[in-house]
Structure formats: C-alpha cells, structure tokens
Homo-oligomer: A and B are copies of this chain.
C-alpha cells in the first residue's frame, strides 16, 4: 500500500470535497475571495477530509453527509491557520509595521471569521445534535490551544504535560473529531465511533510530535520553510523542552538565555544544531511511536477492512515520514 493508493481510492469523493470547499468560500467581495482562495490553494494534505471519509466507511457511507463534515472541519482548520498568521505576522514584523501590513492583519482576521462562518453554514445542514455539540466543544478547546500557544511562547519552563496539553488542543483534537464525526454521521456503532476518536486523537498527537522534530531536523527545501522556524518564533517544542531538562548545564543555559531574551540573545543556528544532536530528538520520536501504537490498538476494535488498513498505513506514515 502507498499513500497515493489511499488518495486514489477516495479520489472522486475528495475531488467533490475540493469542489465544495471552493464553492463554499466564494464571495463577490474580491479581497476576501482572494485571501480565502490563497488559503485554499495553499492546500495541505487535506488530512481532515481524508479521515472523515475513511471513518465514514465504518457505518453507512453517505457522501452527502460526510462531505458537510469534511468541508466544515477543513474550513475550521483553515480559519485557525489564518488567525495564527495574524500572530506570526505580528511577531516577525514587529517594530517594522507598515499600514499595508496592518491592513493585511485586519483582512486576515476577518478572512478567518468569514471562513469560520462558512464552516458553520455547512454544519447547519446536519441534523444530528451530537455533531453540533461535539464541534462547539472542540472549538472552545481549539481556541484555548491557540491562547496556550501565545502564553507559552519563549517560556523555558514547560513540562511535558503542558506540551501534551497544548498539542492536544492545537492538533490532535481536530483529527480526533474528524474520525469521530465521520463515524457518527454514518451511523457507525458507538464502540466504532469511540475507537475512531481514539485513533484520531493518538495519530494527531504522534503527528504533531513528528512535525516538531521535522521542524528541527528537516530539509528546508522539503519543508517549504527554514528549519528551526518554531524556535525562531518562540515556539518551544518537546525536543527543546527535553534538552532544557536533560542537557548539560551549558546547553541548558544556551537555550534558556535565548528564550528569556525572547530570541534577541544567543546563536540560534548553534542552538538548533545542538538540539538536533541531543537526546530530545530520539526521545520525542519514541513518544510519537508510543502514540502511534495506541492509535493502532484502537484500530483493532474496528472490522478488518481496506479502510482500517488505510488508517493504519496513514498512522505509520505520519511517524516515519521525512516531510
């Protein structure tokens, strides 16, 4: 099995979702359309729609319902991305802000609000009250995750627990409910829905951990962003937290003074090199592997189908990928 095989098997339905995504964000307001399209075209792996569709096979697969969930979740994901950009902009352009940049931030904020409102329009078409309840609850946690992230920027004293909490809210939860809601709108059994949620949650955690490692060790050309961009933006991820707790006193001090000065002091390339060679990397990857195993255990509760095999494969891929 290859990842492309999985996409291929769902090609028609994913294409339909892509079409609906474009249709949903259409507006006669040019600037808004432009910024929304930009986001849509930036694409990404459409993991949330993929999970929704795969999960939908454990009940009665109805594209009309699954499509609404998939479109809504992908739009919500996009809306959080664009609101994150408002922050990143604010960070990187600090002190050198032009009116144009400011204007862009405003538009970014409202683009997020707009895409979000469109997501709700999709969800409004679904009658199962559980869907509304799960989504609304998840949204609260999602926003809390964004706020956690602001608060934790440049904080040298972060526990593993705090990190796990943050990436749960930031990443894992949306993947978990993608699987869960895909199951629910297909009328999958309660135990299947639970297993799907558990799978999505664990895979999401594993995904974010691998992502955090790749940000440090990955190839700039493959990643599409400079290596170490997390630390550059003050985002303290698990490999760094581990080094802060277990590195030599000199290593700890290097990172600490970089963070405490909010990135103004210290040699970032040197710190990155040091973290890359630290135990923080294998430690994070091992933890990621443990979450993957939990995800695979959850899958065992589902019937042995092509879609279960696909979910297994995606999990394995997420943890072993190099991009």
Contact = CB atoms under 8 A, between A and B. Distances in A.
A117 B105 contact: no
Contacts of A120: 120, 132, 135-136, 139
Contacts of A147: 29, 31-32, 107, 110, 114
A144 B29 contact: yes
Interface residues of A, number: 45
Contacts of A148: 29
Contacts of A103: 150
A63 interface: no
Interface string A102-140: 110111011001101110110111010100110111011
Q: Number of copies of this chain in the oligomer?
A: 2
Interface centre among A97, A143, A151 (most CB of B within 10 A): A143
Given A94-B99, A117-B139, A150 B110 contact: yes
A27 interface: yes
A109 B129 contact: no
A86 interface: yes
A146 interface: yes
Given A113-B143, A124-B132, A136-B124, A150 B106 contact: yes
Given A127-B129, A132-B132, A106 B90 contact: yes
Contacts of A116: 116
A57 interface: no
A118 B137 CA distance: 8
A125 to B, nearest CB: 8
B140 A129 contact: no
Nearest to A129: B127
A22 interface: no
A interface: dominant SS: helix
A181 to B, nearest CB: 13
A184 to B, nearest CB: 14
A263 B148 CA distance: 38
Interface string A134-167: 0111011011101110110000000000000000
A114 B29 contact: no
B136 A123 contact: yes
A46 interface: no
A139 to B, nearest CB: 4
A263 to B, nearest CB: 12
Nearest to A103: B150
Contact of A106 (B87, B97, B142): B87
Contacts of A144: 27, 29, 32, 114
A21 to B, nearest CB: 15
When A and B form their complex, which 5 residue pairs have the shortest distance between CB atoms, in order from nearest?
A117-B139, A124-B132, A120-B136, A124-B136, A121-B136
19 contacts: A29-B148, A83-B109, A86-B109, A90-B105, A90-B106, A94-B99, A110-B143, A114-B140, A114-B144, A117-B140, A117-B142, A120-B120, A120-B136, A121-B133, A121-B136, A121-B140, A123-B132, A124-B133, A125-B133
